Amino acid sequence: MPNWLSFFQLEKISFIFGFITATLFWLIISKSRKWYPEIKDFIFRVNNKFRINQTSGLRTFIFRESLKKAQSNHIAGKLFPLDEIIVTPLLLVPDSVLVFLEQGLFLGEVSTLIPNIPELPQINRNLPIPKITITDAIQGESNLAITGLPGTGKSTCLAYLTSRIAEKNVLCGNQCGKTPFYFHILDSDILNYPNQNLAEIVYKAVSQIIPKTYLPKLAKFIQKEINSNNAIIIIDGIDELFATEADKAFEFVITASNQFPELKFVITASSYYLGKLENNKFLTFQISPFSNENIRELNNKWIKGWYTNIFASSKNLHSLVKEKLISNWVNIPIPNYTPLEYSLFIWGALSGDLKGSDTLSIYQSHFNRILQDKFALKTLSSFAVKFINEKSSIVNTKNYDSNLVLILEDWGIIKKGSVYFYFNHIDLLGYLAGLDDSNIQLTKDLNLISRNPIELSYLDFKTSLKDNPDQHDQIIIFDHLSDYFDLAVVIPWLRHSTAKSPWRINLFKQILTIFQNSNTSLPIKIRLISAFIYANDPSLEILQKQLLVHPDNQLKTIACISISSLFKNDFFDHEVIDGISTYSNDLLKYVVLLLSTHEKDSSLDALARLLLSSDENIRKLIAECLAIMGKQSEELLKDAITMDDILVRRSAIFGLVKLNKPWSYDIIEKLTTEDSQWVIRDLATQAIDYLNSRTKLPIKNRPRIFELNWLIQFAAKQNQSISPESDPTPLLSNILSNGSEQEIIKTLAIIPDYYNDEIIARIIELKNSQNRLLSNAALTALWRIMQTGKNIELAIA
């Protein structure tokens, strides 16, 4: 064999080319480790963009249909789009969020004075307690459960959110651009098959509105949006379910949210039953009741929409009727309705067929209007009572007049499927079922009834109807309700009851007896005065006058809070202002809150005089209140910041911070360098730093219990431990007995996740505390425990 080496030659150009190629190759290989993540991310983005382009038509359709569905999902959906008449929904920030916020100089005085009352929020409706919009709430880490009584606007709140998501509104922040999967719980298979996966449930609900041409792509699209956390799941109607049904819904949403922890869920739920939602990263927000300002806004929007859409062809009628309505409504003392009832009241007034201003007349007028004598209300009552008899939130469409079903569906009263239908508004169902002559035997345990919203609404109306004076005795004994939770359930029923109703009179007598008991804490009395507010009782004004002149400052405080909740709450200005010089500082704070609920010359003058002469904390509170009252009060703040009195200028800064408008920011900024006093310059500098660093109210998941620093510190002092494996209840029980005020309040905020009978007994003791902060925190904790399904007997001292 020839020696091949003797023929081997190294060609110069080939060698150099090969060497360079090999060097580049190994350089690319060595650098690719650093570039790989970027390359992978680039490929992912290109692939994702390609998939989005493939489904862009389907995505656009879902956004458009979600917006269309949301805009029609309200009581007057046949007349107006939602955005034409909606008052932006507000949510009450729960104590479980507020107590863990860092306490700072500019957080305000109001939250320390006014208790957050999730079970009876109507009493605080005009007061500046912390509130948040739902578009702000979804920026946080938690999933949301929106709670409230029937007719308070939970479904409207979800429709508003869906509208903002669907139109990709910047208000939605980090949720903007996500696909809204918005559906009613009864339009899905959740109750029949709660173990289905999330994508299958969403497909079943959404496919009902999707054209057949998109259906082949829909399943993959839903799965992709869920897996990439590019969706927001919005489920309405859970608040309408019986407890057995609600448990299945809760089981599904908890499982799905744990499976997709980065996905946002927003649902509705009953005020009385939440199951284990709060133990599974769901934060509950009570829907805020309408304030006087909200009511006026709703009136104006309805009037504008009515004349634009209904009376547009009759200019003379438009001018005449509008002038009369506005002049009449400005002076009418609007009762305490739910938002649903306010809407029906305005609708009836504009239609000219309103039979009266009481709630029963409002509902009757509405059904007479849509039925037009085609069907009698008794026919509808037998139609509605089937839900009570079957203990179901959904019934079969068989054996019902198709024309009646069609009318009710056309006006948005019911939603009809292929073989079923359900009511969109529980109080409409409850009113109709209450008209039925049959005597349905229900449990006499109000705690159990409260977990079944349809039964609760039925009893609400049944016990109040004039032609059933003895019905309440057959259903439940109202002569003496000694349990606080029973009272909390019954009190909202008073808005339907007649003045001569025996149980109403007995209830008022019992509450007045409690008021006279010096051992009953102020937070309990504040809650119970709401009975007279809900009842729209004509004797309320007399009661409030009696409380105002009573020598007990606690009763004067209750009078101030109750007066503030009225629609016409300036009747008492003369009595309140005349006594200002005799009030203690504690009582004076509540007087300031009352005067801040209406922008009248008398109240503004009184607040201005107090700003010049009161204790520094009261001046600060006045400035904060002036910031939210209106234009005239803003002018007062502008004047205050120019006064020679250092305490007045210092207090005015707190008001300007609360106001937080461009012009108020500019004023504070000038004070940092131009004011003659270093005290003012220093406070102004702190205010600017606060405003520059402040973000919207942070709604975060609460840290796990063994990660709470204050709890770890307390455990160390007590030679106890806290860890993921240990039972925290002995430590929490120790805090409730030996902790400081703030430690006890923080513990009460997390108690609903960890409690036993010993802890409940200790909380019951705390609810009678003369420390109003502890008493209120204890009552709220007990309410939240009751919402989990725990039965608690809470006797009122």
pLDDT in tens, 27-77: 777 666 666 676 666 666 666 665 555 567 889 999 999 999 999 999 999
Q: Average model confidence (pLDDT) for the chain? A: 84
Tens digit of pLDDT for each residue in 460-495? 898 887 545 454 444 455 545 668 888 888 888 888
Q: Is the pLDDT of residue 283 over 70?
A: yes
Cβ burial, residue 40 (10 Å; 0-12/13-18/19+): exposed
* Amino acid identity for residue 716 in this structure: A
Six token digits for residue 736: 């409730």
Residue 209 banded pLDDT, cuts 50, 70, 90: confident
Q: Which residue, among 520, 544, 417, 465, has the nearest Cα to 767 in the 3D structure? A: 520
Q: Which residue has the higher pLDDT, 241 or 356?
A: 241
How far apart, in whole angstroms, are the C-alpha atoms of residue 423 and residue 408?
Answer: 9
Look at residue 31 in the predicted model and tell me its pLDDT. Answer: 66
Q: State residue 436 phi and psi, 5-degree precision.
A: -70, 140
Tens digit of pLDDT for each residue in 616-633? 889 999 998 888 888 888
Q: Please state the domain extents for the chain.
A: 4-54, 58-93+130-289, 290-373, 501-693, 705-787
Of the CA atoms within 13 Å of residue 344, those in its CB half-sphere come to 29
Of the CA atoms within 13 Å of residue 498, those in its CB half-sphere come to 14
CATH number of 58-93+130-289: 3.40.50.300
Q: How far is CA 214 from the centre of its chain?
A: 36
- What average pLDDT does this structure show over 127-139? 90
> Is the alpha carbon torsion for 510, 554, 111, 643 positive or negative?
positive
Look at residue 455 in the predicted model and tell me its pLDDT. Answer: 93
Q: State residue 100 phi and psi, 5-degree precision.
A: -100, 0
Q: Which residue, among 702, 794, 699, has the nearest Cα to 754 in the 3D structure? A: 702
Ramachandran quadrant class, 119 (left: phi over 0; alpha: psi -120 to 50; beta: rest): alpha
Question: Which residue in the block uniquely carries the two structure tokens 């024309």?
Answer: 403
Inter-residue contact 524 to 115 (CB < 8 Å): no
Q: Is the pLDDT of residue 318 over 50?
A: no
Tens digit of pLDDT for each residue in 538-588? 778 888 888 888 888 888 999 898 888 887 766 777 888 888 888 888 999
* Amino acid identity for residue 645 in this structure: D
Q: Which residue has the higher pLDDT, 340 or 400?
A: 340
DSSP 396: E
How far apart, in whole angstroms, are the C-alpha atoms of residue 297 and residue 290?
Answer: 10
Q: Is the pLDDT of residue 376 over 90?
A: no
Helix (H, G, I), strand (E, B) or coil at 770: coil
How far apart, in whole angstroms, are the C-alpha atoms of residue 651 and residue 631?
Answer: 18
* Amino acid identity for residue 587 in this structure: L
How far apart, in whole angstroms, are the C-alpha atoms of residue 287 and residue 270?
Answer: 11
Q: Which residue has the higher pLDDT, 343 or 141?
A: 343
Q: Is the pLDDT of residue 86 over 90?
A: yes
Tens digit of pLDDT for each residue in 679-720? 888 988 988 888 887 655 666 666 778 888 888 898 888 888
231-236 and 179-184: which strand pairing?
parallel
Six token digits for residue 163: 């509208």
How far apart, in whole angstroms, are the C-alpha atoms of residue 794 and residue 797?
Answer: 9
Residue 330 banded pLDDT, cuts 50, 70, 90: very low
DSSP 401-423: -HHHHHHHHHTTSEEE-SSEEEE
How far apart, in whole angstroms, are the C-alpha atoms of residue 797 and residue 792?
Answer: 15
Q: Which of 224-238, 280-294, 315-329, 378-392 has the lowest mean pLDDT?
A: 315-329
Look at residue 675 in the predicted model and tell me its pLDDT. Answer: 86
Look at residue 296 in the predicted model and tell me its pLDDT. Answer: 87
3-state percent helix, strand, coil for the chain, nearest multiple of 5: 60, 5, 30
Look at residue 280 in the predicted model and tell me its pLDDT. Answer: 86
Tens digit of pLDDT for each residue in 753-764? 788 889 999 999
How far apart, in whole angstroms, are the C-alpha atoms of residue 461 and residue 619?
Answer: 46
How far apart, in whole angstroms, are the C-alpha atoms of residue 182 and residue 234?
Answer: 5
Helix (H, G, I), strand (E, B) or coil at 182: strand
Cβ neighbour number for residue 123 with a 10 Å cutoff: 26
Tens digit of pLDDT for each residue in 500-528? 778 888 888 888 888 888 888 888 888 88
Look at residue 474 in the predicted model and tell me its pLDDT. Answer: 47
Look at residue 3 in the predicted model and tell me its pLDDT. Answer: 58
Residue 333 banded pLDDT, cuts 50, 70, 90: low
Q: Which residue has the higher pLDDT, 284 or 792?
A: 284
- What average pLDDT does this structure show over 189-204? 91
Q: Is the pLDDT of residue 327 over 50?
A: no
Tens digit of pLDDT for each residue in 641-683? 888 888 988 998 888 888 878 898 899 899 888 888 898 889 8
Q: Which residue, among 201, 163, 197, has the nearest Cα to 185 in the 3D structure? A: 201
Q: CB pairs under 8 A, 24+ apart, for 706-715?
A: 708/746, 708/750, 710/743, 710/746, 711/735, 711/746, 711/747, 714/739, 714/743
DSSP 630-645: -HHHHHHHHHHTTSS-
- What average pLDDT does this structure show over 327-339? 66
Q: Which CATH superfamily is domain 501-693 in?
A: Leucine-rich Repeat Variant (1.25.10.10)
First to last CA, the chain: 116
Look at residue 32 in the predicted model and tell me its pLDDT. Answer: 66
Q: How far is CA 187 from the centre of its chain?
A: 24
Helix (H, G, I), strand (E, B) or coil at 507: helix
Look at residue 52 in the predicted model and tell me its pLDDT. Answer: 56
DSSP 304-340: HHHHHHTSTT-HHHHHHHHHHHHHHHHHS------HH
List, in sequence order, every residue forming a beta bridge with 483; answer none if it has no partner. 795
Look at residue 490 in the predicted model and tell me its pLDDT. Answer: 87
Q: Is the pLDDT of residue 313 over 60?
A: no
Q: Which of 381-395, 396-410, 760-774 has the lowest mean pLDDT?
A: 396-410
How far apart, in whole angstroms, are the C-alpha atoms of residue 288 and residue 122?
Answer: 8
How far apart, in whole angstroms, are the C-alpha atoms of residue 155 and residue 153?
Answer: 6
Q: Is the pLDDT of residue 9 over 60?
A: no
Question: Which residue in the block uniquely carries the two structure tokens 């202002």?
Answer: 577
| C-alpha torsion angle, residues 687, 688, 690, 695 (rounded to 10) | 140
How far apart, in whole angstroms, are the C-alpha atoms of residue 360 and residue 52?
Answer: 52
Helix (H, G, I), strand (E, B) or coil at 176: coil
